[in-house]
Structure formats: structure tokens, C-alpha cells
Amino acid sequence: MATFRCKRSGQTVTFTLQHDIDSMRGHPDYVLVDEETNEEKPLVNHDAVRTDTAFSAPVPPRKKLGRPRKEVANVGD
């Protein structure tokens, strides 16, 4: 069980499921509150270097939508 405090409002939220606790640990607007000593611990170290870089597939160029423009030949010649 873990209790988190909102940095803006100061409201506390308690989670019991491990999935919820793990997702809140990555949230920058909440801090973990130690229930025994009632002191806050920062969860996210903003100076840490990220080692897992997610690469995604390259995005193919978009095809222009609609009908191509009509080419008009010179009629007066």
C-alpha cells in the first residue's frame, strides 16, 4: 500500500494494487508519502539520463488526397 500527495492541491491518494503504484511512481505531479515518518520522497529524478530509447517505425509519406489538377493546354495558338 502506498500513499501519494498531489504537488498542486496537497490531496492524498492511497493505492493498493502494484500496477497503480508503479504508474504513479512515474507521474511528475505526485510524490510518495512515507506513512511512518509522514515525509515526502520525490519520485522522478529529472537529471537522470534515460537509457531505454524507444524507436518507432519510420512514417511513410502521405499521399495527396483528391483528384490531380487539370492541365490546360494553350487554346489560342
> Domain residues of the chain, as ranges?
2-41
- Residue 44's contacts (CB-CB under 8 Å, 6 or more residues apart) are 25, 26, 27, 28
Instruction: Say if residues 20 and 28 touch (Cβ distance below 8 Å).
Output: no
Instruction: Say if residues 29 and 42 touch (Cβ distance below 8 Å).
Output: no
The gap between the terminal CA atoms of the chain, to the nearest Å, is 86
Instruction: Say if residues 29 and 6 touch (Cβ distance below 8 Å).
Output: yes
Q: What is the pLDDT of residues 39-61, one digit of tens each?
A: 666 555 556 666 666 777 778 88
Q: What is the pLDDT of residues 21-35, one digit of tens each?
A: 888 888 888 888 876
Q: Is the pLDDT of residue 74 over 80?
A: no
pLDDT of residue 48: 61
- Percent of the chain topping pLDDT 90: 0
Give CA–CA dist 77/71, Å, rounded: 16
